[in-house]
Structure 1
């Protein structure tokens, strides 16, 4: 595709609009505006040529370029290393956790496997630091062939660059989950006129018009096909169209053309090109060593270079990825095995043992235990540096090469587990099927069942997982006590999610009964063991029986010393148990610890869950703004990681805010999704949110129906909350019989729990069903007890109910005091439905109360507010960036906007400009 003159520089034939868009993108970068773009189009459409144009256009930029290679897709962080290698002299300047994560990922030091998104943050910081000296253009060609770990990290970086002088351009053939949502420019075929000109430039001599039109039509204006296909046609075919193929795909026909050129070269040149095609990193020195081992002369490359198929500079670069695939795929299996054998021999055993093992595996013609053993060791090294994808690939190939059936089954099981961790459930299922055919021992057979159940829960979080996990636990009982107990706890956790949609008749109670047969915990008991025993008591012997053992479990989870990794992963369950025990202090403590741990570890896979659990605490504490910030942060991260959004806390927050349209839309979507997957707990949460919403909006009949649905099943935590809403809705609907029954069921729990929260809720509910002095005393008790908790929303509810009761008793002066307090609280936190309910009651006492109005001042966004609070609390820009997974320059950019909105000029003034409320990330 030849260039034509244009402004400001030459542009590609037929690509003026694309070149102008790329030019504008580059021009914006030096001004401090990061640019991200995905070029998408079929092979040969000109994406690589557009990247070449950007290299030419990027005067004053530092250019970093990486090309994805199909044969290297399984080697974790290979593409990322290729991009970052020229910048690694700056790695010492990174914060220590990021520096260590990157070194471990690149195999430069040993260490625990880092979370891939901490690696992404390290890369973001490295690129941002590099761009401080001069703008940086990162060009990623054939991104569809990057290893998954690299593309996930680069997609994360692409979603976090904002104010850094960085351009990040991906070229990819098809839409990709990882790059979904990024700005995109689709590169299509050339127009008819430009196609004719490009075709004419590739043909010497006359061309029949009908043949020309047919070629243009069949290639759909694909520039590479227009240039390449005529080389495979005879003069007779070009003149008259006889024998012109019309069925093969464009990519296939272009590869055939490259293949014919390849086969026209001397034998030594063909062998050299095949060796280069099998060596993905483009290492010229390694290629020469492998060539010498095969007896290939030093002058063999000349013919390939002259034919324009390859360039040999500091790296080996094929003219187009289709040249590489045409060369590699067109030869026999034996020929490929031979060059991989030579590459393995040429690869340094000490410095690159994993790539050597991979070449040995590609060279193997049948089962080979020695190579399988090498691959297993490579998997261990990959796992240690966070390469879950590479570890899974090594183990999968080791399984294929293992001659012994029993050992092959064990490796298939290990590979399946690695595939599950690597996010490849389909491959994990296939490996589990292979492992199932092998003669596994009892422990491994039970481990297989457990892994199959875990896979089911991960894929659907539905109602088939509890039975599968219980079955696996039963088989592990006599074989591995710790694993058996952990599996029983997993089954209980899955049953809690399944809730009312459980496939087993007794649901979580049934699971608890089965878990009761678990072998006794060894001493000293782990937090996992205490959780299991407490939940078994809770669901087998009744709520009251579980209170004390579950309190001990929460205490163990809260301990700093000696908490294992396994204990840490169960913090989410502690955050569900604490509100079931009406223990607001433990709930706050565990949710805060979980969030801090996720932040410190850099686990973005766990961080959104931790953020939403902490947001749930803030909702009940009346910190709606803080909860919204955390939810917003979780949404940004789930978008960056490609995970589905977690809308549960958003749903409850919308209900408390009285946002009927938003809440009902979320409720409807949540119920539909949960029903499809079999997650009954989500349905209960949606009904609870509905009850809160309509109690706030004074639609008590609607609230009553929703609260009754909540209380149809003993969902952990939600059942007690549902009873609270049910009492109020029933009393206001003149269904005192329903309210009295609900109160009786509630008292069984609140008295067993005995916390201020529990007893305050009980007093409030009992007051609504009482009269005279008894009611007055109970309302006062409710207000006093709830004032000593973190549960602000229920304190304000008690004040509202007390004020309403006093107003109906014609005690208007006293009523105004409590109604004003409730109205002030609800208005301050943004609980508009309850605030309006309090306003109406105040009007009935003769007071004049204005409706809450929208602020006219320009408000901070959720992220700006969070950055401002962290800066107010004296965190530096790098510290804020590390916590929020953005660069220091982006923090500075946001702070500039904050200062403008708050009309201040320095960080010192933030303390005066922002309210001093407790930080959500404390």
Structure 2
């Protein structure tokens, strides 16, 4: 530990904070031999009073889903039954203890966090993973999930990894500690302490420092060996030469055991029983495993037989010829004969295969299915990709490739998914259904991380054929096309859908067919046709079981004017995603819930949904979804009148513009326009609203029409009444075939604004009547404000005061304080002595989004464990936030908090 004082102090500080209940994690990065393992050992020595859980990543298991996590959690898996049911089931399925539906990776993350938190209830926990670069990707993603949630837990997480090998271990939620070579003083002290025999001269030490860069392991291995003299062209003894140094030592002292060591190096599982079985088939004696002669190379911890240093293992494995490695992997495949080890058997068969091998490919495909059931998309991707390489030309190879791409997309490995889809598309024997599936997968990747317009173009040519082949299987794809048309600001999608769906005869009692019928009605309505009989029986669509399809159905129903059913579908879809741990579906769904809450004036809930959506989207590799949720946060900030709203909206606009995200740009432009509108800068507001574009097109888009009520107000106030009248006429035409009180109220308000002075009363009255039939308090208050302003200008002061008071109070209640100030200013202009400041905010509006989510869950009667499961937190973190809520609200019990929620929560 010479020369590592700073690193030791950091690790000791991490442990101290964990004892105090402020957990965290670090990752030690550096080249082989730099001292990572020594620092891990120091952390273990300092962890007196901790429960220590350990794992070591090994290369052969790098593609076996959750292999490292199983090592880490094995000592505490007996407590899994104490977790909430879905979490306990997830771990049982994950580790092959029971059969069941595949757990979502983030349900696995939540289960791991809960199990660690439960264990930490007795004493602090230290989790250590050495050689994390060889840990499987699902384990690393689970550790990243856990690391983000350790702030209120007595848990410390320490990983050690090489930066240039294996899987990427750049985990931003763990503090990175890069390790560099020792400084000269520390290096000389190490040499003096560890190297016996002849003392190196100062010149020899300087040369050794130069060729090793201060790497401690290299210093010790090369001390006493010949070092190329300074000035020669011979390269320094690093990397390959260092590996040869290890191998030379083994050949000198353990040459007879080298074939056995090669077998151990190829195994990776570390089971003595497995190695002995394989050795017997290869004719190798295993006596050295039970004697002390290999102790300097191997260690046995009671569960696993592993090399003491990964560099030794690497040198030994690569010392075997290609033919020898094939024989070794074949022997290991035969040794893994237990049902629980079939994925390892398949992996070794794949490594042993030469050329096409359908038997090995079948085994790998079966292994991939098991990996998918255990929530391991990376393992499934690797197995299917290798299976495709071993498959003879034909439809099966293409199917395996696009299925591997599907697993890659599920795991967030976008680049790998695209490469696999490219390979699948080049297959000449790919059948039509599979080609459609390839196009759908490309569209999914484009929707989440590319361009929505590209996604539309990818699936459009295939939809007519998909509807004829199997319309119910491809219903989500057809619905996605309509949704993308809205997102990309391409209204032609509605016409396309109406034409395609006119040719089929769905059954309204089937969930998928009900979605297609809704799409057909929406397509007809959006293109100026009679939508025909709209599905009014919600039972079919509410029986959908896929949260993505249910969310899409909700958006279609909203387009048809039924906001209440749409809202219910959004909520149910979100709950389905939470219950199954489907964080990708939940991140996507939360945008719809947030937008709906904005329309209802529930800005705190909207912010809570959008913030959560941003976080989850980042975790699952959906940058487009994250950007859209940030756009909604900007819109909330603008409505609230917060100072940071403009900057946040401008940032979203720049990011969304780079990726052509028309819907995210809509949110940002509306936010910027509302900031200007409430401030009375009407021309600037109109400029932002007009930038959405398309309201005057032959077939206007949903986004363009969605901005018209704001645009009409800005244009009228800027003196552009004629242009506002044209926009109003287009809006009325667009809404006339949709039976929606909310749209009707906005249409009437636009008509009131463009009427000459004195003729607007009837339209304002109609708007308020229709507002009363819906729940959209922000727009209701804006209508009251505009009506009050009109009445004041007409010198009808007492009537104006009534509407302006209602507007000010409604704005205040929902937190739109800048709008409330505008209403109060108008009220004072009528001669009424109004308060210059709005009343204090209600307690719920003072809570952070996380605190609000937890508080509302308490209001629904959920326990801390149930809340933790829903919000992907640990019960300890929920308890921490509840204590802060109690302090803010001045209460001491859950019963008081539930009463507060019932009192203050908006309907």
Q: TM-score, normalised by structure 2?
A: 0.91
| Match of residue 487, structure 2, among 497, 516, 524 | 497
Quick check: 1:474–1:484 contact (8 Å CA) kept in 2?
no
Give the match's secondary structure for 1:693: helix
Deviation digits for residues 304-323 of structure 1, max 9, x if unmatched? 85572221341213222222
Quick check: 1:41–1:174 contact (8 Å CA) kept in 2?
yes
The answer as to 2:696 corresponding to 1:707 is no
| Match of residue 364, structure 1, among 353, 358, 361 | 353
1:616-695 correspondence to structure 2 within 5 Å: 616-641=595-620, 643-644=622-623, 645=626, 646-659=629-642, 662-695=644-677
| Gaps in structure 2 of 5+ consecutive residues | none
Quick check: 2:646–2:675 contact (8 Å CA) kept in 1?
no
CA distance in 2, matches of 1:142, 1:216: 25
Quick check: 1:869–1:919 contact (8 Å CA) kept in 2?
no
The answer as to 2:285 corresponding to 1:297 is yes
CA distance in 1, matches of 2:747, 2:313: 73
Quick check: 1:477–1:518 contact (8 Å CA) kept in 2?
no
Shift of 1:872: 4.1
Give the match's secondary structure for 1:516: helix
Give the match's secondary structure for 2:299: strand
The answer as to 2:696 corresponding to 1:722 is no
Task: Tell me what 2:870 maps to.
Answer: 883
Task: Tell me what 2:566 maps to.
Answer: 587
Give the match's secondary structure for 1:520: coil
Give the match's secondary structure for 2:584: coil
The answer as to 2:331 corresponding to 1:342 is yes
CA distance in 1, matches of 2:757, 2:453: 49
Task: Tell me what 1:836 maps to.
Answer: 821
The answer as to 2:174 corresponding to 1:182 is yes
Residues 1:499 and 1:170: Cα distance change in structure 2 (over 3 Å): same
The answer as to 2:202 corresponding to 1:209 is yes
Quick check: 2:694–2:701 contact (8 Å CA) kept in 1?
no
Give the match's secondary structure for 1:264: helix
CA distance in 1, matches of 2:501, 2:289: 71
Shift of 1:739: 1.6
Deviation digits for residues 616-661 of structure 1, max 9, x if unmatched? 22212221122222233333434555653331211221222233x5
Deviation digits for residues 813-848 of structure 1, max 9, x if unmatched? 221221122112212322133122212212211234
Deviation digits for residues 515-559 of structure 1, max 9, x if unmatched? 62785255456454444455456456745536556x528946752
1:239-258 correspondence to structure 2 within 5 Å: 245-246=234-235, 250-258=238-246
Quick check: 1:584–1:791 contact (8 Å CA) kept in 2?
no
CA distance in 1, matches of 2:438, 2:794: 67
Shift of 1:915: 6.1
**Range moving further from structure 2, 401-410 or 758-767:** 401-410
Residues 1:801 and 1:70: Cα distance change in structure 2 (over 3 Å): same
| Match of residue 552, structure 1, among 521, 532, 535 | 535
Give the match's secondary structure for 1:552: coil
Deviation digits for residues 435-479 of structure 1, max 9, x if unmatched? 323423333344434444444444403322222212233554654
1:803-842 correspondence to structure 2 within 5 Å: 803-842=788-827
Give the match's secondary structure for 1:169: strand
Quick check: 1:557–1:571 contact (8 Å CA) kept in 2?
no
Give the match's secondary structure for 2:680: coil
CA distance in 1, matches of 2:501, 2:18: 64
Residues 1:835 and 1:466: Cα distance change in structure 2 (over 3 Å): same
Shift of 1:333: 1.4
Residues 1:409 and 1:309: Cα distance change in structure 2 (over 3 Å): same
Residues 1:547 and 1:803: Cα distance change in structure 2 (over 3 Å): farther
Task: Tell me what 1:309 maps to.
Answer: 297
Quick check: 1:409–1:437 contact (8 Å CA) kept in 2?
yes
The answer as to 2:148 corresponding to 1:159 is yes
CA distance in 1, matches of 2:458, 2:389: 28
Shift of 1:882: 1.1
Quick check: 1:476–1:484 contact (8 Å CA) kept in 2?
yes
| Match of residue 123, structure 1, among 109, 112, 125 | 112
Residues 1:303 and 1:864: Cα distance change in structure 2 (over 3 Å): same
The answer as to 2:14 corresponding to 1:25 is yes
Quick check: 1:144–1:174 contact (8 Å CA) kept in 2?
yes
| Match of residue 585, structure 2, among 585, 591, 606 | 606
Give the match's secondary structure for 2:694: coil
Residues 1:600 and 1:294: Cα distance change in structure 2 (over 3 Å): same
**Range moving further from structure 2, 122-131 or 830-839:** 830-839
Give the match's secondary structure for 1:492: helix
Q: TM-score, normalised by structure 1?
A: 0.90
Quick check: 2:152–2:880 contact (8 Å CA) kept in 1?
yes
Task: Tell me what 1:4 maps to.
Answer: none
**Range moving further from structure 2, 214-223 or 52-61:** 214-223
Task: Tell me what 1:778 maps to.
Answer: 763
Task: Tell me what 2:133 maps to.
Answer: 144
CA RMSD of aligned residues (A): 3.0
Aligned length: 892
CA distance in 2, matches of 1:895, 1:26: 26
CA distance in 2, matches of 1:434, 1:529: 33
Task: Tell me what 1:851 maps to.
Answer: 837
CA distance in 2, matches of 1:574, 1:523: 16
Quick check: 2:388–2:398 contact (8 Å CA) kept in 1?
yes
CA distance in 2, matches of 1:623, 1:141: 47
| Gaps in structure 1 of 5+ consecutive residues | 1-11, 501-505
Task: Tell me what 2:24 maps to.
Answer: 35
**Range moving further from structure 2, 841-850 or 636-645:** 636-645
**Range moving further from structure 2, 305-314 or 319-328:** 305-314
Task: Tell me what 2:89 maps to.
Answer: 100
Quick check: 1:469–1:490 contact (8 Å CA) kept in 2?
no
CA distance in 1, matches of 2:621, 2:219: 37
Deviation digits for residues 257-285 of structure 1, max 9, x if unmatched? 22222332434411222111112222233
CA distance in 2, matches of 1:912, 1:100: 35
CA distance in 2, matches of 1:741, 1:285: 82
Task: Tell me what 2:853 maps to.
Answer: 866
CA distance in 2, matches of 1:413, 1:627: 37
Give the match's secondary structure for 1:140: strand
The answer as to 2:212 corresponding to 1:219 is yes
Give the match's secondary structure for 2:102: coil
CA distance in 2, matches of 1:905, 1:457: 47
The answer as to 2:33 corresponding to 1:44 is yes
Quick check: 1:481–1:519 contact (8 Å CA) kept in 2?
no
Quick check: 2:412–2:620 contact (8 Å CA) kept in 1?
no
CA distance in 1, matches of 2:786, 2:174: 50
**Range moving further from structure 2, 168-177 or 371-380:** 168-177
Residues 1:695 and 1:573: Cα distance change in structure 2 (over 3 Å): farther
Shift of 1:394: 1.6
Residues 1:137 and 1:675: Cα distance change in structure 2 (over 3 Å): same
Task: Tell me what 1:269 maps to.
Answer: 257
Quick check: 2:631–2:665 contact (8 Å CA) kept in 1?
no
CA distance in 1, matches of 2:230, 2:294: 30
| Match of residue 462, structure 1, among 449, 452, 458 | 452
1:298-447 correspondence to structure 2 within 5 Å: 298-301=286-289, 308-314=296-302, 315-435=304-424, 436-447=426-437
CA distance in 2, matches of 1:54, 1:346: 37
Shift of 1:805: 1.0
Quick check: 2:449–2:622 contact (8 Å CA) kept in 1?
no
Shift of 1:195: 1.1
Shift of 1:370: 1.6
Quick check: 1:581–1:753 contact (8 Å CA) kept in 2?
yes
Deviation digits for residues 708-731 of structure 1, max 9, x if unmatched? 333415675433321111221121
